[in-house]
A and B are shown apart, each in its own frame.
Chain A
Amino acid sequence: MFFLDSIWLIPMFPLIGAVLMLLFGRRLDPQHPLGPPEDDGHDSHHAPSPGRKLIDLLCPGMVLLSFLFAVGAIIQLQGVDGHRYEVVKWTWLAGLDSGTEVGIRAFTADWGFLLDSLSAVMMLVITGIGFLIHVYSTGYMAHDGGYYRFFGFLNLFLFFMLVLVMANNYVLLFVGWEGVGFCSYGLIGFYFRKQSASNAANKAFIVNRIGDAGFVLGMLLTFSALGTLTFTEIGPALEAGGFHAESAWGPLTVIGLLFFVGATGKSAQLPLHVWLPDAMEGPTPVSALIHAATMVTAGVYLVARSSAIFTLAPNAMLVVAVVGGLTAIFAASIALVQYDIKKVLAYSTVSQLGYMFLACGVGAFWVGIFHLYTHAFFKALLFLGSGSVIHAVGGEQDMRKMGALRDKIPVTYKTMLVGAMAIAGIPGLAGFFSKDEILWKTFSSHHTLLYGLGLLTAMMTAFYMFRLIYMTFFGDNRVAPGTHVHESPRSMTLPLVVLAVGSVLAGWIGTPPVFGPVHDALPSLEHWLSSSVAVEGAHGGADAEHHSALLEWGLMALSVGLALFAIWLSTRLFRTAKYEGEPMHGLVGQGVHRLLLNKYFVDEIYGGAFVDGAAKGGGGLMVRFDRRGIDGAVNGVGGLTRGSSSGTMFFDKWVIDGIVNVIGFGTKLVSYPVRMFQTGLVQNYALHFVIGVGIVAGYYLFR
């Protein structure tokens, strides 16, 4: 079992790449961190140096190695009982004995890696798409400075992401969780000279930290309740502890909700979604890999990984479903009117992540992972495509300054069209299967309202995706004059093609049972995931069986029909639009349009309430308290002491010293006449002596 026993190597390969970049990167690519000042790349053209060629081989190569080892291990996993294999390298966090609800337990977490069906899916997505994006980046970043820094961070990201999904316990998962956050921070702020980039990086990290606080608290409570944080022990501990589905706010519900708080941070769900759109400040391959395909899905992975806990906490599940559903439609509505091509995709990502949580929340955890997996293909494709567009038009991201590009960059156009069709839910493509499964599971578990939200979101998705396609590739040419529009190099288009193929085919491993023989003939992701993820939903997953196949077909037709209607509407409005007037005004009204364009003003509200209000306002108050209150008191005491000591000094100088001086003066006064006698002349002394003797003798003689 060579590959199985060396699964710990899978994350190590990219780590090696990252360390080599840190140590020797600057020597391989001796350039200014960002290229010459006042230039963020894209303009200067020069042949890649030998050092860069080495980086081009090394960093993607390391990821390819991880991918191959992952494939090898997963093939070998098929032969393992229970589809689960654990490798523990060493005990990491050996805290001391701790009182828990199950007695005194030693608090431990290992550097241990778990390969099961769930982590297998994640590993394939991460290393597979990660490799493609590495290849793409060698073309996209070719003209930027800081090349080694980019690839070092990218490799480091893959290391942490693999740790996240391969960890065998929550604490190690948290290492990956924070690590990917760190890499995201470093890559969002890659163009660190730009204020907006470093602002976005800070925002991403700090908003994520709010979620992390919930996650940490959730982990601690889990240990208190169950006495373990190791995934394979959670299930048995739940059984041994006699936990049942909680009707109200039991410990498992609280734990579930706290984990979900962590997930809302990482996966940009309401109300912590604000960082993801800003994260688009990073280079586009970063947006594709980290902020679409992998890192932001970590929250979904966390919920799926904790499915044993969630199924016993129906209230927590309900919250997950509702937040997911609301986020889906909220973000989709914003995406309807955005002009920045990457912002559209960013809100689309937030919306699709909402879908995944919706699936998890209604108990269909495997469907959440299924959508995660298909979404990784088409969203990575769309982002990379948008990167190719931006590359072609010289760095412009505003779709109002694009248009009519379909003949000039045909490969990008065709592949992006496939991606748009996939996400819009055109039958047969990847997004169709996973999205429809989500809608069906939501409906069949009697969440009719959420189903309505989901359906509406699906419509909006189709609408804004085709709006993006039309604004970018159709209509009249609005590209700034003098821009040399060119198709991207092979290193960029090849990944696009591979991902487009994936976007077409990826969904066929999750065909619904109503497909009958087709479903039976193809491999089933549901079956594969059943060994690691709770399949029976808390909300009567079994009920689904009672619905007729006809109903399922009917709903499928409904959602496809609505998507087609949305595409038609989009075509009407945007295919030939000239952008002198805003076509969306007619559809939603000017006020709503403004509200959506400004993203419901959430950033402004948060900025006022939390950043300027609570943090800076509170901090300012405390600074004043520190200076006036505490230090005021300290200095007051000091002043008082000094005051009283100068009082003492006054007393000393004028009273005590006064008395002493008076005495001294008196003595002096008295001594004055006496001193008159002291002339220093022997004759005078002799005279005094004689007079004295005379007086004394006289006294005795005449008394």
Chain B
Amino acid sequence: MSEHILSIIWLTPLIGMLAVMCLPKENKALIRIVANGFAVLGLLVTIPMILAFDKTNGDFQLVERFDWIPALGAQYYLGVDGFGYLMIILTVVVGWLSILCSWASIQDRVKEYYAFFLFLQAGMLGVFMVLDVFLFYVFWEIMLVPMYFIIGIWGGGKRLYAAIKFFLYTLAGSVLMLLAMLTVYFKHFELFGNYSFAIEDLMRVAAYTGPDMQFWLFWGFFVAFAVKVPMFPFHTWLPDAHTEAPTAGSVILAGILLKMGLYGLVRFAMPMFPKGVTDDLTVTLVAVLSIVGIVYGALVSLMQTDWKRLVAYSSVSHLGFCTLGLIAMNPNGIAGGMLQGFNHGLSTPLLFLAVGVVYDQRHTREIADYGGLANRMPIYTVLFAIAMFASMGMPGLNGFIGEFTILRGALEVSVVWTAFAVLGIVLGAAYLLWLFQRVMLGPIKNPKNEGLKDMNAREILVMAPLIAGCFWIGLYPKPYFEILEPPTNKLVERLDPAYFSSGAPELIEGEVELSQARTEDATTSE
């Protein structure tokens, strides 16, 4: 068993899907119980991974490797490092919560809904653990199918438009990735004489290809990931998909699907094409798009009249920070970018869950239909406020840690980047506080809101783990940085082998004393 820890993790929801499909369609309660059971089981089966994972090790761990299609050199090849580890944990938690939060809000085609959700869960988990590019592509694409149906069947008014747009956007990006992937694959065959899709084999190609070639290959991958992130100007599928999807779908989209873009960058695109990503043009373009995304997303959010659309655009702004961190390509930038991705996976699902709570009762997403909810729903107001302040980067909550670390990384590269990115901090407060004012504060003007009920125990339970996570990272982020540090440093060294040696910490006398004095201080005063 212990050598199949990762397989068990991604197969558990798949088995759950099969189990749900075997149940009678009419027995909705049973379907819900079984689906939630498998979601919880999905959480439990990650415990062996957490126990076995060595966070000081930057290499792939818990590796499983078998030949799958020998003729192509495709393998069933799984493994995790710090990046994947955090994403898997995020996926099982957010996946569980999104299944739990659907309990009352989904009444039609319950069986198909849960089957699709568990299928989606399996696909997402697969993405975060495969190390074979071919299999990665399979997981990457297959995940689209359940998401397409979740938006298209259980979504809001314009659900078909949104679902098709989501599907085609992503597919269009993936085509370029497929081309780049095959190019590297054949190049590898040319150079080494054997077919392989394994990540470390394909990484060896980098030493034999020129900057121009790598530039185009990187961009082939990058476009696919940029669509998923989503980066400006590839983002317009997101507001539609987020807005039309059912609550749980938005939660999964914001919480996990967007992180696949970030993960894809650090796992595949950046290490496979170091010369392509460190190219000046690439760096400039990605940084500019990130910064534009930060400001643009925030300003567009400010103008939204639809609650979910507002939150959706805020993702564009937040993810701009993440990509800015990654492209800074130093330890703080990359670790901050990945941590901020994780943070966004906690705080934005919270905001969507919050919308869901009132949407279930009022069936409208228009901000103007609400107002004065604080009069009726004190618990809800407090929880929403926590999510809001986490999202806008209030110190003590998670968002600040990510943003600050990213800005620290960005500053190492350019003061100008940092100065522009800081604007996002100001605007972030503006659109969220204005939303809060319009929705929560003031008197209740619309009589339909008089009857709103405050959150019930299940709704609180769904939000509680995410809120706990927000506080944990905000108050004590050290464990997360410890997990991110080895793979981050490995990636930085691959991109810039001189990073840790050139600016070597030639501590001058005074500083040695200083740091000693500091540690003494810390110990004596304890």
* A contact residues vs B (CB 8 Å cutoff): 5, 22, 26, 32-34, 37, 85-88, 90-100, 102-105, 107, 110, 112, 171, 174-175, 177-179, 182, 185, 189, 192-195, 198-199, 201-202, 205-206, 209-210, 212-213, 216-217, 220-221, 223-224, 227-228, 230, 232-233, 236-237, 239-240, 615-616, 618-620, 622-623, 626, 630-631, 634, 638
Q: Looking at the complex, which one of B401, B415, B475, B500 makes contact with A97 (CB distance below 8 Å)?
A: B500
Known: A37-B375, A92-B477, A103-B507. 14 other contacts (CB 8 A): A33-B375, A88-B526, A92-B476, A94-B478, A96-B481, A179-B396, A192-B441, A201-B437, A240-B510, A615-B427, A616-B303, A619-B299, A619-B300, A638-B168
A237-B511 Cα distance, complex, nearest whole Å: 7
What per-residue 1/0 map shows which CB atoms of B394-428 lie under 8 Å from chain A?
A: 11100011001101110110010011001101110
Q: What's the Cα separation between A419 and B426 when bound, in Å? A: 37
Q: Which residues of B contact A88 (CB under 8 A)?
A: 521-522, 525-526
Contact between B514 and A237, CB atoms less than 8 A apart = yes
Q: Which residue of B lies closest to A623 (CB)?
A: B303
Q: Which 8 A-B pairs have the closest CB atoms?
A: A240-B510, A96-B331, A619-B299, A619-B303, A103-B505, A175-B395, A198-B441, A213-B422
B443 touches A (CB below 8 Å)? yes
**Set A33, A198, A212: member contacting B425, Cβ < 8 A:** A212
Most buried by B among A193, A199, A233, A626: A626
Contact with A along B473-495 (1 / 0, CB 8 A): 00111100110110011000000
* Inter-chain contacts of A102 with B (CB < 8 A): 508, 511
List of B residues within 8 angstroms of A98 by Cβ: 330-332, 408-409, 412
Q: Which residues of A contact B427 (CB under 8 A)?
A: 615
Interface pairs (26), CB distance under 8 Å: A88-B521, A92-B478, A94-B478, A95-B331, A95-B335, A97-B489, A99-B499, A102-B511, A112-B522, A171-B395, A185-B433, A194-B442, A201-B433, A202-B437, A206-B430, A206-B433, A210-B426, A217-B418, A233-B518, A236-B510, A240-B510, A615-B302, A616-B302, A622-B303, A630-B233, A634-B237
Is B506 at the interface (CB under 8 A from chain A)? yes
B441/A105 in contact, CB under 8 A: no
Q: Given A103-B503, A198-B441, A622-B300, are A33 and B374 also a contact pair (CB < 8 Å)?
A: yes
Q: How far is the CB of A254 from chain B (nearest CB, A)?
A: 9
- The B interface, classified by DSSP as helix, strand, loop or mixed, is helix
The residue in A179, A192, A194 that gathers the most chain B C-beta atoms within 10 A of its C-beta is A192
Our pick among A32, A85, A615 for the contact of B430 (Cβ within 8 Å) is A615
- Tell me which residues across on chain B come within 8 A of A107, comparing CB atoms: 332, 405, 408
Q: Is there an interface contact between B510 and A193, defined as CB atoms closer than 8 Å? A: no
Q: Are A216 and B425 in contact (CB under 8 A)?
A: yes
What is the chain A residue whose CB lies nearest that of B477?
A: A93
> How many whole Å from B381's CB to the nearest CB in chain A?
9
**Is the Cβ of A224 less than 8 Å from the Cβ of B411?**
yes
Q: Indicate which residue in B335, B412, B443 contacts A193 across the interface (CB closer than 8 Å).
A: B443
Q: Which residues of B contact A205 (CB under 8 A)?
A: 429, 433
Given contacts A33-B374, A209-B426, contact A179 B500 (CB under 8 A): no
User: Across the two chains, which residue of chain A brings its CB closest to B165?
Assistant: A634
Residues of chain A within 8 A (CB-CB) of B378 are: 26, 33
**Given A103-B505, A104-B505, A216-B404 in contact, is the A195-B442 Cβ separation under 8 Å?**
yes
Say yes or no: is B382 at the interface (Cβ < 8 Å to chain A): yes
Closest-by-CB residue of B relative to A254 is B415
CB pair B514–A240 under 8 Å, yes or no, is yes
Give A92 to B522 CA distance when docked, in angstroms.
Answer: 13
Residues of B within 8 A of A198 (CB): 437, 441-442
Instruction: Report which of B330, B401, B423 forms a contact with A213, defined as CB distance below 8 A.
Output: B423
Asked if residues A216 and B303 are in contact (CB atoms below 8 Å), the reply is no
Q: Is B169's CB under 8 angstroms from A217's CB?
A: no
Q: Are B478 and A91 in contact (CB under 8 A)?
A: yes
CA distance A483 to B448 in the complex (A): 38
Q: In the assembled complex, which residues on chain B have CB atoms less than 8 Å from the CB atom of A33?
A: 374-375, 378
* Contact A99 B503, CB 8 Å, known A175-B396, A623-B303: yes
Residues on B with C-beta less than 8 A from A90 are 476
Check B504 against A103 for contact (C-beta < 8 Å). yes
Q: Are B411 and A220 in contact (CB-based, < 8 A)?
A: yes
Residue numbers in B under 8 Å from A195 (CB-CB): 442
Interface-central residue, B389, B412, B433, B478, by most chain A CB under 10 Å: B433
| Inter-chain contact A93/B299, CB cutoff 8 Å | no
- Chain A CB count within 10 A is highest, among B302, B408, B484, B488, for B408
Interface status of B268 (Cβ within 8 A of chain A): no
What CA separation (Å) do A638 and B236 show in the bound complex? Answer: 13
Q: Is the CB of B505 within 8 A of A105?
A: yes
* Cα distance, A110 to B523, chains bound together (Å): 13
- Taking the closest CB of chain B, its distance from the CB of A503, in whole angstroms, is 35
Q: How far is the CB of A494 from chain B (nearest CB, A)?
A: 33
Checking A95, A177, A227 against B481 with a beta-carbon cut-off of 8 angstroms, the contacting residue is: A95
- Residues B404 and A618 in contact, CB atoms below 8 Å apart: no
CA distance A34 to B430 in the complex (A): 25
- B contact residues around A230 at 8 Å (CB): 518
**Residue in contact with A236 in the complex, picked from B389, B430, B514, CB distance below 8 Å:** B514
Any A CB within 8 A of the CB of B372: yes
Name the residue of chain B whose CB is nearest to the CB of A233. Answer: B514
Chain A residues positioned under 8 Å from B58 (CB to CB): none
- Minimum Cβ distance to chain B for residue A89 (Å): 8
Q: Which of A5, A220, A233 has the most CB of B within 10 A?
A: A220
B192 within 8 A of A: no
**Which one of A87, A96, A638 has the highest number of Cβ atoms from chain B below 10 Å of its Cβ?**
A96
- Give, as a whole number of angstroms, the nearest-CB distance from A619 to chain B: 4
Do A216 and B407 form a contact, CB below 8 Å, given A105-B505, A178-B394, A630-B233?
yes
Cα distance A98–B423 in the bound complex, in angstroms? 23
A114 to B488, CA, bound (A): 33
With a CB–CB cut-off of 8 A, which chain B residues contact A179?
Answer: 394-396
Closest chain B residue, CB of each to CB of A88: B522
Query: Is B68 part of the contact surface with A, judged by Cβ < 8 Å?
Result: no
Residue of B nearest to A641 (CB): B168
- Chain A, residue nearest B297 (CB): A622
Q: How far is it, in angstroms, between the C-alpha of A219 and the C-alpha of B422 when the chains are bound? A: 12
B482 contacts across to A, CB distance below 8 A: 94
Q: Please name all residues of chain A whose beta carbon is closer than 8 Å to the beta carbon of B400 when the two chains form the complex.
A: 178
Kindly report which residue of chain A lies nearest to residue B172, judged by CB atoms: A637
Closest-by-CB residue of B relative to A219 is B404
Contacts of B488 in A (CB 8 A): 96
The reply to whether A96 and B426 contact each other, CB–CB distance below 8 Å, is no
Across the interface, do A620 and B332 meet the contact criterion of CB distance under 8 Å? no
Residues of B within 8 A of A626 (CB): 236, 300
Q: How far is the CB of B429 from chain A (nearest CB, A)?
A: 5
Contact A216 B233 (CB under 8 A): no
Contact of A634 among B236, B422, B507 (CB under 8 A): B236
Q: Assess the A623–B300 pair: CB atoms within 8 A.
A: yes
* Residue from B233, B419, B478, B503 within 8 A of A104 (CB atoms): B503
A94 to B339, CA, bound (A): 13
Tell me whether A174 and B395 are in contact (CB under 8 A).
Answer: yes
Assess whether B434 is interfacial by the CB under 8 Å rule: yes
- Give the distance to chain A from B526, nearest Cβ to Cβ, in Å: 7
Point out the residues of chain A lying under 8 angstroms from B425, CB to CB: 209, 212-213, 216
CA distance A630 to B425 in the complex (A): 25
B296 close to A (CB within 8 Å): yes
A359 to B233, CA, bound (A): 50
CA distance A220 to B411 in the complex (A): 7
Q: Mark B365-377, 1 if CB is under 8 A from A, else 0.
A: 0000000101100
Bound CA–CA A516/B343 (angstroms):
61
Cβ of B336 within 8 Å of any chain A Cβ, yes or no, is: yes
Q: How far is the CA of A32 from the CA of B503 in the complex (A)?
A: 61
Give complex CA distance A630, B240 in Å.
Answer: 13
Complex Cα distance A395/B481, Å?
53
* B477–chain A nearest beta-carbon distance, Å: 7
Cβ contact of A178, chosen from B330, B395, B409, cutoff 8 A: B395
